[in-house]
Chains A and B, each alone.
Chain A
Amino acid sequence: AQTVTQSQPEMSVQEAETVTLSCTYDTSESDYYLFWYKQPPSRQMILVIRQEAYKQQNATENRFSVNFQKAAKSFSLKISDSQLGDAAMYFCAYRGSNTDKLIFGTGTRLQVFP
């Protein structure tokens, strides 16, 4: 069975600085999709960024980028120029190519200090 591990329960960063959140996963599939979701205090789940496993190029969405290392089964999220509004829980998620089900990690709580 596939699993997603987020080993950092909490992280903190100074405003305008850069922070990286870690995620590893375990799968025997070769084709799959990876996601980062943000959950602010409002509890809404917001898609931040997504990556297709067959693409070698790392996805980027404005200040958010990923470092996808397929062989290492690692999918870290880098947030550049951190803003106070980035403070939230961040969840890494995996979806296999033959299923629609998302498997989530346990989350990393990010604090942003002014």
Chain B
Amino acid sequence: DSGVTQTPKHLITATGQRVTLRCSPRSGDLSVYWYQQSLDQGLQFLIQYYNGEERAKGNILERFSAQQFPDLHSELNLSSLELGDSALYFCASNRQGAWGGYTFGSGTRLTVV
């Protein structure tokens, strides 16, 4: 157990639907990052939150949005889903000033049918 919790582990939904992915960071970590990994691809950075505020944005579609709540958990909302949104969505966290890499959750496998 890495300490970063993602739910659900698997999600199957239809095109056009909306889903919410949830992430609880490791205790003490203020930053949360969301990454998308399409089939056998590298990880693409979507967005970063730090202590409730958006810190950095990557290649995140307008149909996608995220937020970080006062208890530091984060949610990634994906709407108007398309087949191409099927991917593994990772959440990661780290501490401010820590030069080390992130601690990743186990991911949410999203399948859009």
Contacts and interface: CB of A to CB of B under 8 A. Distances in A.
Given A100-B33, A102-B102, A43 B94 contact: no
A50 B100 contact: yes
Contacts of B94: 100
A87 interface: no
Interface stretch (A11-19, A68-76, A104-112): A104-112
B56 A37 contact: no
A53 to B, nearest CB: 10
Interface string A84-107: 000000010101000111111111
A95 B101 contact: yes
B97 to A, nearest CB: 10
- How many A residues are at the interface, by size bracket? 20 to 34
Interface residues on B, range: 20 to 34
B35 to A, nearest CB: 8
A90 B101 CA distance: 15
B23 interface: no
Nearest to A103: B45
Which secondary structure dominates chain B's binding surface?
A: strand
B11 to A, nearest CB: 14
B56 A100 contact: yes
A43 B88 contact: yes
Nearest to B50: A100
B43 interface: yes
Given A45-B90, A101-B45, A102-B45, A37 B101 contact: yes
Interface in A4-61: 33, 35, 37, 42-47, 50, 52
B43 A104 contact: yes
12 contacts: A35-B101, A37-B101, A43-B106, A45-B43, A45-B92, A47-B103, A52-B99, A100-B48, A100-B50, A101-B58, A104-B43, A104-B44
Interface of A: 33, 35, 37, 42-47, 50, 52, 91, 93, 95, 99-107
